[in-house]
Amino acid sequence: MTTVGFIGLGIMGGPMSANLVKAGFDVVGYDITRPNVDALVEQGGKGASSVADAVRDADVVITMLPNHPQVEQVVFGEDGVLANASSGTLLIDMSTIRPETSVAVAKAGGERGIAVLDAPVSGGEAGAKQAALSIMVGGNEADFASAKPLFDAVGKTIVHVGAHGAGQVVKAANQLVVGGTYALVSEAIVLLEASGVDPKAGMDVLAGGLAASRILDLKRDSMIAREFKPGFRIDLHHKDMGIVTSAAREAGVVLPVGALVAQLMASALAVGDGGLDHSGLLRGVERLSGT
């Protein structure tokens, strides 16, 4: 039976590791917050007292961490994955981080006989709980094939999109389009309302034509009602827009709209809207317009 060392048992990693246990994997989990480890044990997993402890006997290591500094520490640290996992282990980083770090991790892993995949997800807490995540995977085809059974236990749409880092780039592109669409829909709503047009009637027309989008379908009513209960929080999308900007810089491309949306997201965070759903970007457009 495959033994999985799972590092990072928070809002996403918690239900994901539990789903792996349910699917029959032997999961050894670690988190800096002890109750998160206890929760995994209650679900039938094993608890570890350190990263080293979690990865030492693992066939596969999964990391699900907030951002690249945590990934760097967990992977490269003295107590970390590379120093303690056996050669032949497969490391799957499911965190959303900048592609250049994913590439660096893959390179360092390769030098120690540890294959690496970057496999960021979308779908949020609900997707994690229902094992219905979308997973964008970068790395070698053979490693992707090995990892497939694990991905199947936590996700629904699972796509191998390219070499090391490609998963992160696709995730970044996704967050760029999602964040930008929220900004556009927000501007449309503010324009309609300030012009004295019923926003619901107007947005219904948009949702029926070329302007249609999943965001319009799912969120236009809650946006018009100013209900911004998350869902996916602005502070996390702000982090992701930082990855978009960083990935663009690394790739030498220019994203004028993405850079502006990143500023609007930063503004939402700066004024205290970080805990709202990302559709709350609407409030920033309203603030600019004094409405």
Binders of a copy of itself among 126-155, rule CB under 8 A? 134, 136, 138
101 interacts with a copy of itself by CB under 8 A: no
How many whole angstroms separate alpha carbon 7 and alpha carbon 13? 8
Catalytic site includes residue 200: no
118 within 8 A of 93, measured Cβ to Cβ: yes
Applying CB under 8 A, the span of 4-12, 17-25, 46-54, 174-182 interacting with a copy of itself comes to 174-182
Shortest Cβ 179–a copy of itself spacing (Å) = 9
Applying CB under 8 A, the span of 32-40, 89-97, 107-115, 190-198 interacting with a copy of itself comes to 190-198
Applying CB under 8 A, the span of 77-85, 89-97, 106-114, 282-290 interacting with a copy of itself comes to 282-290
| Interface residue with a copy of itself, options 16, 105, 276, 285 (CB under 8 A) | 285
80 interacts with a copy of itself by CB under 8 A: no
Shortest Cβ 101–a copy of itself spacing (Å) = 13
Shortest Cβ 184–a copy of itself spacing (Å) = 4
Shortest Cβ 175–a copy of itself spacing (Å) = 8
Cα–Cα nearest to 106, from 67, 76, 65, 136:
76
| Interface residue with a copy of itself, options 41, 126, 194, 225 (CB under 8 A) | 194
Binders of a copy of itself among 242-261, rule CB under 8 A? 242, 244-245, 247-261
Identify the residue whose tokens are 């989008």. Answer: 213
Cα–Cα nearest to 60, from 13, 99, 93:
93
Tokens standing for residue 134: 């979308």
70 within 8 A of 14, measured Cβ to Cβ: no
62 within 8 A of 35, measured Cβ to Cβ: no
How many whole angstroms separate alpha carbon 268 and alpha carbon 234? 7
Whether residue 231 is preceded by a cis peptide bond, meaning omega within 30 degrees of 0, is yes
Q: Binding mask 49-78 vs a copy of itself (x if CB under 8 A, - otherwise)?
A: ------------------------------
Catalytic residue chosen out of the listed positions 46, 171, 219, 239: 171
Q: Is the dihedral of CA 243, 245, 246, 249 positive or negative?
A: positive
How many whole angstroms separate alpha carbon 281 and alpha carbon 263? 11
| Interface residue with a copy of itself, options 43, 70, 174, 222 (CB under 8 A) | 174
How many whole angstroms separate alpha carbon 169 and alpha carbon 186? 26
89 within 8 A of 114, measured Cβ to Cβ: yes
Nearer residue to a copy of itself within complex by CB, 108 or 190: 190
| Interface residue with a copy of itself, options 141, 152, 204, 227 (CB under 8 A) | 204
Shortest Cβ 112–a copy of itself spacing (Å) = 20
| Interface residue with a copy of itself, options 60, 269, 276, 282 (CB under 8 A) | 269
Shortest Cβ 131–a copy of itself spacing (Å) = 16
| Interface residue with a copy of itself, options 27, 85, 178, 236 (CB under 8 A) | 178
**125 CB-contact burial (10 Å; exposed 0-12 / middle 13-18 / buried 19+):** middle
What's the alpha-carbon Rg for the chain, to the nearest Å? 20
Q: What is the set of active-site residues?
A: 171
